[in-house]
Amino acid sequence: MKQIKNNFIFFGAVHQDFVFELKNDLIKYRTNPIKHYESYGGVAHNIAKAVAEKEKVSLVSINSDNETINYLRKNKIEFINLNKEIQKRYYAILLDKFKKLQLGIANTDAYEQFEGKLINFKLNKKLIIIDLNFSEKLIKKIINKYSNDNKIIICGTSPFKIYKIKSLLKKIDCLILNKEELFKLTNIRNIFKSIKYIVKKNSNINLVISNGANKAYGYELSKFVSVKPPNIKVLNENGAGDTMAGNYIYYRYMNFTLEKSLLLGVATGSIHAKNKKNIKFKSDDLKKISNKIKIQKENLNV
């Protein structure tokens, strides 16, 4: 039984991300010239990378090539492989000439098909952060096995994958979703009513809902707040939500208040989105953009 020393432990995806940016307006059924960028992605990886700037973390996933593992080590992420075989997986997005997302495609069946028979870690008083790329069966196994002695944090990943946790809401300590993931989980297309639905299932849950350039909401123990992101020119939409989630998780579990954690999460997500390349945040930049964000109390009537 393997013991993991780090307190932040991520279960989920790490793979190549490909970004294709159109140089002109899209012409259907023809070859379109593009700019091409590559980076590492996967929701668990993206969030782990944000936390790893401040704290030692471990990433548990299906096996990766040596280049990927060396990259993770350089970014202070301990990699723990769950199998021996290296399977291809990737994510790609198409941006228009204004850098707006037009299409995302994912080849991530390798995660879904992994059975996870060897998940047998000794974990106690850890923060276990899970994306939803693994199969429903495996995600249930991880949550049921470790929820009694650890904090379980779920990051939404996709509206197409959110069904995997619908029966497990009572065992989740923190749930971070975007608006569409929230609506798909509850079958209610209203943010406030959807939050009420989840809170009735688990009154102790810490809940964060992001809504792009609109308000982000935070709920915990009857405290309900929102923050409005600053107006920015978006240059790097890919991964901004994961950056927000990673920083929120770090600050909240370093005992910052709900309000302060949400503010800092939104601030770091905004910094990510307004820079062409992923950068490390300078304290002055974080302070400057944080001053433009207002926290507001909301009334949920729960």
Q: What one-letter code names the amino acid at 25?
A: D
Bridge partner residues of 107 (DSSP): 90
**CATH number of the domain that 179 lies in?**
3.40.1190.20
Within a domain: 264 = yes
Q: How confident is the model at residue 80 (pLDDT cuts 50, 70, 90)?
A: very high
- Quick one: average pLDDT of 51-55? 95
Tell me how long the chain is.
Answer: 302
Tens-place pLDDT, residues 98-150: 888 899 999 999 999 998 877 889 999 999 999 999 999 999 999 999 999 99
Query: pTM for this structure?
Result: 0.92
Q: How confident is the model at residue 230 (pLDDT cuts 50, 70, 90)?
A: confident
Which residues, in sequence order, are CB contacts of 57 under 8 Å at separation 6+?
6, 8, 9, 10, 48, 51, 76, 77, 78
C-alpha to C-alpha distance for 24 and 31, rounded to whole angstroms: 11
Which residues, in sequence order, are CB contacts of 139 under 8 Å at separation 6+?
130, 132, 164, 165, 168
C-alpha to C-alpha distance for 112 and 230, rounded to whole angstroms: 37
pLDDT of 294 reads: 86
pLDDT of 115 reads: 87
Angle at 73 between CA 71 and CA 74, to 5 degrees: 65
**Residues 3 and 121 sit within 8 Å (Cβ to Cβ):** yes
Residue 174 has pLDDT above 60, yes or no: yes
For 185, the domain range is: 173-302
pLDDT of 217 reads: 97
Q: Which residues of the chain form beta strands (DSSP E)? A: 2-3, 8-11, 15-22, 34-41, 57-61, 77-81, 90-95, 101-107, 121-122, 127-130, 151-155, 174-178, 206-210, 216-220, 223-227, 295-297
Residue 1 has pLDDT above 70, yes or no: no
Within a domain: 221 = yes
Within a domain: 25 = no
| Number of structural domains the chain divides into | 1
pLDDT of 214 reads: 86
What average pLDDT does the structure give for the chain? 92
Within a domain: 76 = no
C-alpha to C-alpha distance for 226 and 229, rounded to whole angstroms: 10
Within a domain: 44 = no
Within a domain: 243 = yes
Within a domain: 7 = no
CB burial of 33-63 (b: ≥16 within 10 Å; e: otherwise) equals eeeebeebbbbbbbbbbbbbeeeebbbbbbb
